[in-house]
Chain A
Amino acid sequence: MLDLTWLLIAVPLASSFVLLLLGKRANPWGHWLGVAASGTAFVIGLLALIQMLGLDAHDRSHAVHLFSWIPGGELNLDAGLLVDPLSMTFVMLVTFVGTLIHIYSVAYMEHDPNRRIFFAYLNLFVAAMLLLVLADSYLLLFVGWEGVGLASYLLIGFWNQKPEYATAANKAFVVNRIGDIGLILAMGLMFTYLGGVDFATVFAAAPEASTAQLTAIGLTLLLAATGKSAQFPLQSWLGDAMAGPTPVSALIHAATMVTAGVYLIVRSAPIYEGAPAAQTVVAAIGAFTLILGALIGMAKDDIKKALAASTMSQIGYMMLAAGLGPIGYAFAIFHLVTHGFFKAGMFLGAGSVMHGMHDQVDMRRYGALRTAMVTTWVTFGLGWLAILGVPPFSGFWSKDKIIEAAFVGEGAQPWILGGAALIGAGLTAFYMSRLFFMTFHGKARWTDDQHPHESPALMTVPMIILAVGSAFLGLFLAMGDRFTDWLEPVTGHAEHHEPVLPVPVIMVATLLLVALGAWVAWRKYGAADVPETAPAASLATIAARNDMFQDSVNRGVFERPGTHLTRTLVYADAALVDGAVDKTAHSFARTGESVRKTQNGQVRSYALTMLVGLVIVIIVVVQGGL
Chain B
Amino acid sequence: MDPINFVILASILFAIGAAAVLLRRNAIIAFMGVELMLNAANLALVAFSRMHGEIDGQIMAFFVLVVAAAEVVVGLAIIIAVFRARQTISLDEPAELKG
- Residue positions of A touching B, CB distance < 8 A: 596-604, 607-608, 611
Q: Given contacts A604-B91, A604-B92, are A599 and B98 in contact (CB under 8 A)?
A: yes
Question: What residues of chain A lie closer than 8 Å to B97, measured between beta carbons?
Answer: 599, 601
Residue of A nearest to B91 (CB): A603
- Known contacts A601-B96, A604-B92; can you find 5 more A-B pairs with CB under 8 A? A600-B98, A601-B98, A603-B92, A604-B30, A607-B21
Could you tell me the distance between the alpha carbons of A444 and B67 in the complex, rounded to whole angstroms?
A: 116
**A404 CA to B48 CA in the complex, in Å?**
123
Residue pairs across A and B with CB atoms within 8 Å: the count is 33
Which residues in chain B, 12-63, are within 8 Å of chain A measured between CB atoms?
18, 21-23, 25, 30
Q: How far is the CB of B96 from chain A (nearest CB, A)?
A: 6
Other-chain contact of B95, A600, A607, A608 (Cβ < 8 Å): A600
- The secondary-structure label for the interface of chain B is loop
State A530–B18 Cα separation when bound (angstroms).
111
Which residues of chain A are near B92, meaning CB under 8 Å?
Answer: 602-604
Cβ B95 vs Cβ A604 within 8 A: no
Q: Which residues of chain B are within 8 angstroms of A602 by Cβ–Cβ distance?
A: 91-92, 95
Interchain CA distance A356-B18 in the complex, whole Å: 108
B residues 63-95 near A (Cβ < 8 Å) are 91-92, 94-95
Q: Which of A599, A601, A611 contacts B18 (CB 8 A)?
A: A611
| Contact between chains at B21 and A601 (CB < 8 Å) | no
Provide the bound-state CA to CA distance between A306 and B75, in Å: 98
Please report the C-alpha to C-alpha distance between residue A602 and residue B21 in the assembled complex, in whole angstroms. Answer: 12
A596: chain B residues at CB < 8 Å are: 99
A603-B22 in contact (CB<8A): no
Chain B residue with Cβ nearest A596: B99
Q: Give the interface centre of B18, B25, B95, B99 by most chain A CB atoms within 10 Å.
A: B99
Contact B99 A600 (CB under 8 A): yes
Contacts of B96 in A (CB 8 A): 601
Chain B hits for A597, CB < 8 A: 99
- Of A597, A598, A603, A611, the most chain B CB neighbours within 10 A belong to A603
Q: How many residues of B contact A (CB 8 A)?
A: 14
Whole-angstrom distance from the CB of A120 to the nearest CB of chain B? 68
Neighbouring B residues of A598 by C-beta, 8 Å: 99
Known: A601-B94, A603-B91, A604-B91. A611 touches B22 (CB 8 A): yes
A603 to B98, CA, bound (A): 10
Shortest Cβ gap from B24 to chain A (Å):
9
Closest 9 pairs (CB-CB, A-B): A599-B99, A601-B98, A601-B95, A596-B99, A601-B97, A603-B91, A607-B21, A608-B22, A600-B98
Q: In the complex, what's the smallest C-beta–C-beta distance from A108 to chain B, in angstroms? A: 77
Which among B22, B25, B96 has the highest number of chain A CB atoms within 10 Å? B22
Q: CA separation between A596 and B18, bound complex, in Å?
A: 26
Which residue of chain B has its CB nearest to the CB of A606?
A: B97
Minimum CB–CB distance from B46 to chain A (whole Å) comes to: 20
Q: Which residues of A contact B98 (CB under 8 A)?
A: 599-601
Q: In whole angstroms, what is the CA distance A602 to B30 when docked?
A: 14
Question: Roughly how many angstroms separate A603 CA and B75 CA in the complex, as a whole number?
Answer: 14
Measured CB to CB, the closest approach of chain B to A515, in angstroms, equals: 97
Q: Please determine whether A607 and B22 come into contact, CB atoms closer than 8 angstroms.
A: yes
Q: Give 21 pairs: A residue, B residue, CB < 8 Å, sorted on A.
A: A596-B99, A597-B99, A598-B99, A599-B97, A599-B98, A600-B95, A600-B99, A601-B94, A601-B98, A602-B91, A602-B92, A603-B91, A603-B92, A603-B94, A604-B21, A604-B25, A604-B91, A604-B92, A607-B22, A608-B22, A611-B22
Taken together as a complex, chains A and B put the C-alpha atoms of A604 and B93 apart, in Å, by 11
In the complex, what residue of chain A is closest to B34 when comparing beta carbons?
A607
Report how far A598 CA is from B99 CA in the complex, Å: 8
| Chain B residues positioned under 8 Å from A607 (CB to CB) | 21-22
Q: Could you tell me the distance between the alpha carbons of A608 and B30 in the complex, rounded to whole angstroms?
A: 13
**How far apart sit A529 and B21, CA to CA, in the bound complex (Å)?**
112
Q: How far, in angstroms, from A75 to B91 measured CA to CA in the complex?
A: 81
Query: What residues of A have a CB within 8 angstroms of the CB of B18 in the complex?
Result: 611
Query: In angstroms, how far is the closest chain A Cβ from the Cβ of B32?
Result: 14
Within the assembled complex, what's the spacing in Å between the Cα atoms of A85 and B95?
Answer: 94
Alpha-carbon distance A597/B99, docked complex (angstroms): 7
* In the bound complex, CA of A603 to CA of B78 (Å): 14
Q: From residue B6, how far is it (CB to closest CB) to chain A in Å?
A: 19
Q: How far is the CB of A434 from chain B (nearest CB, A)?
A: 85
Q: A614 — nearest CB in chain B belongs to which residue?
A: B18
Q: How far is the CA of A596 from the CA of B96 in the complex (A)?
A: 14
Distance in Å: Cβ of A241 to nearest Cβ of chain B: 67
Name the residue of chain A whose CB is nearest to the CB of B98: A601
- Cβ distance B36 to chain A, nearest Cβ, rounded Å: 14
The residue on A at minimum CB distance from B23 is: A604
| Distance, CA A168 to CA B22, complexed state (A) | 82
A303 to B51, CA, bound (A): 119
Compute how far the CA of A601 lies from the CA of B18 in the bound complex, rounded to whole angstroms: 19
CB distance from A200 to the nearest CB of B (A): 77
Across the interface, name the chain B residue whose C-beta is closest to A598: B99
B27, closest chain A residue (CB)? A603
| Set of chain A residues within 8 Å of B25, measured between Cβ atoms | 604
Please report the C-alpha to C-alpha distance between residue A603 and residue B94 in the assembled complex, in whole angstroms.
Answer: 8
Which of chain B's residues has its CB closest to A592's CB?
Answer: B99
Chain A residue contacts of B94, Cβ below 8 A: 601, 603
How far in angstroms is the closest Cβ of chain B from A382?
Answer: 92
Report A-chain residues with C-beta under 8 Å of the C-beta of B91. Answer: 602-604
